[in-house]
Chains A and B, each alone.
Chain A
């Protein structure tokens, strides 16, 4: 039979490195011409708490999707305020894929995202407010319903309210009832809002 036993898997020898694997060396490797080298650098930078700014900087210009993915994972693992600020910045990008990746990364960071959520939901750009609601969709944080209620009570934009009311259908409790009814009245001429609010009202956790 031609099944053969593999050669022993050996750790990559240190002398084979082209650059030192310390934090400064790894940050410089983020600009390497070979995407594999950039990907490994981005992965190993998870051990360097000061690397968030350099990673965000790289993320903004990185064209290789596999490197971008790893940068985002490392930023998620770092999860510090600089990483969060960088991810918020990505929400303003014209690049849809990058925006979605930032949303997914922020969904994983409830404690780090919570302090900036009010600011995101009050942003002058309604698109950014919708992205903030999208983050709430999978955010494990006890404030989610409160934030959503504030959105449907206060946000002037129908699409932002539409995103929030959809989510309230999943997480809403009796605390959302009055706000959902006010929302229906506020957007009485918007059939979608009325439909979505009714659906959410029917699903509220009341018992």
Chain B
């Protein structure tokens, strides 16, 4: 599978339905649910507790029907043994809800300013800029959120230069990010003074101010392409949220190895809240900060 990240894959699991599913003759038994739950957790790191039963069953039934496998048994066999992993991908997409907006998973930005940057600054021996890589950039909400958060909540911004580079595989979404025009929905979590300070009203919504648009570098990168990522080095922090979940195991491992060489020793990787590096975690030190769990390239490593 060749991973791509054209659209903003940021999602949550709290999508409950109010009515009974139309399951027809396809039934998901308690044993089936249990078996699926364990398998899905092992493959994706996403955990469904009993309260998500309805949510999970409904989507399983939907995929049983869509694949024509006829029963949970047939579907699970396909899911488990399909070498391409296509169906697992389709199901993963269905089990997640895509959306992105400013200050999504804000606790990680808080972690950046309250925990990561103080540590980075503390051990810096030169005045070289602090470098932050946001991948995927998607339509720009994430890198601009980082920029705003630094300006609003980090006093060090007056002493240090910070470079923010945002990358995506999709050139159309990058053009959109550079333009920086957002819907009301996208900016709904921003405090009004932040909105006033960094955005201007446009007929199509809110546009991020020119200064901020100029301060983020947007580049096209396929994370799975060595030639694309080779030049990306010396970063202090990488934000890669809710992307690796869409990769197969080998691609995920390759990506985390790419990040390792893109980071300065001691640099940090922030993943989405339900993601972990599991299989590649031996490369990184797991750091538990008050705000978030973050992965660190060990300091002593070359």
Q: Do B261 and A203 touch (CB < 8 A)?
A: no
A176 to chain B, nearest CB (A): 13
Does A182 belong to the interface (CB within 8 Å)?
A: no
17 residue pairs A–B, Cβ–Cβ below 8 Å? A3-B150, A3-B163, A12-B230, A12-B231, A69-B280, A69-B282, A73-B250, A104-B279, A108-B250, A110-B83, A138-B42, A138-B43, A141-B81, A141-B83, A169-B35, A170-B35, A206-B73
Give A130 to B252 CA distance when docked, in angstroms: 26
Interface range for B: 35 or more
Q: Does A171 contact B (CB under 8 A)?
A: yes
Cross-interface CB contact of A140 among B83, B147, B157, B232, cutoff 8 Å: B83
Q: Which A residues lie at the B interface, using CB under 8 A?
A: 1-6, 9-12, 34-36, 39-40, 43-44, 46, 64-66, 69-70, 73, 76-77, 97, 104, 107-108, 110-111, 138, 140-142, 144, 169-171, 173, 202-203, 205-207
Q: In the bound complex, do residue B163 and residue A97 qualify as a contact, i.e. CB atoms below 8 Å apart?
A: no
- Any chain A CB within 8 A of the CB of B77? yes
B residues whose Cβ falls under 8 Å from a Cβ of A: 31, 34-35, 38-39, 42-43, 71-73, 76-77, 80-83, 85, 129, 131, 147, 150-151, 157-165, 211-212, 214-217, 219, 226-227, 230-232, 249-250, 253-254, 257, 260-261, 279-280, 282-283, 301-302
CB contact between B283 and one of A4, A69, A144 (< 8 Å): that residue: A69
Contact at A3–B147, with CB atoms within 8 Å? yes
- Determine the residue in chain A with the shortest Cβ distance to B219: A9
Q: Which residue of A lies closest to B278 (CB)?
A: A104
Asked whether, in the complex, the Cβ of A43 is within 8 Å of the Cβ of B231, the reply is no
Extra contacts, 16 of them, besides A66-B301, A97-B282, A173-B73 (Cβ < 8 A), are A1-B157, A1-B211, A4-B215, A6-B164, A9-B232, A11-B230, A39-B257, A65-B282, A65-B283, A66-B257, A69-B257, A77-B250, A111-B83, A140-B80, A170-B80, A205-B76
CB of B261, distance to nearest CB on chain A (Å): 7
B215 touches A108 (CB 8 A): no
A137, chain B: closest CB distance, angstroms: 8
Contacts of B85 in A (CB 8 A): 140
- Give bound CA distance, A70 to B71, whole Å: 40
Pick the residue among B129, B249, B250 that contacts A4 (CB under 8 A).
Answer: B129
In the A-B complex, the 5 residue pairs with the closest CB atoms: A205-B73, A3-B215, A6-B163, A6-B217, A9-B231
- B302 to chain A minimum Cβ distance, whole angstroms, is 5
Q: Is the CB of B214 within 8 A of A5?
A: yes
Instruction: Give bound CA distance, A87 to B73, whole Å.
Output: 33
Residues of the A chain whose Cβ atoms lie less than 8 Å from the Cβ of B71: 207
A65 to chain B, nearest CB (A): 5
Chain B residues within 8 Å of A108, by CB: 249-250
Assess whether B257 is in contact with A203, with CB atoms less than 8 Å apart: no
- Residues of B near A203 (CB, < 8 A) are 31, 34-35
Q: Which residues of B contact A64 (CB under 8 A)?
A: 301-302
Q: Which of the residues A34, A46, A140, A207 comes within 8 Å of B81, measured between beta carbons? A: A140
- Point out the residue from B212, B250, B261 that lies within 8 Å of A39, measured CB to CB: B261
Smallest beta-carbon distance B259→chain A, Å: 11
Shortest CB–CB separation between residue B197 and chain A, in angstroms?
A: 11
Beta-carbon contact of A66 and B162 below 8 Å: no
Chain A residues with CB under 8 Å of B164's CB are 3, 6
Q: Is the CB of B162 within 8 A of A3?
A: yes
Q: What residues on A are CB-neighbors of B131 within 8 Å?
A: 6
Residues in B neighbouring A107, C-beta threshold 8 A = 249
Known contacts A1-B157, A77-B250; is-contact A66 B227 (Cβ 8 Å): no
Closest to A70 in B: B257
Chain B residue, CB-CB nearest to A110: B83
Q: Which of A76, A170, A207 contacts B250 (CB 8 A)?
A: A76
Residue of B nearest to A171 (CB): B80
Which residue of A is nearest B76, CB measured?
A205
Residue numbers in B under 8 Å from A39 (CB-CB):
257, 260-261
In the complex, which residues of chain A have a beta carbon less than 8 angstroms from the beta carbon of B159?
2
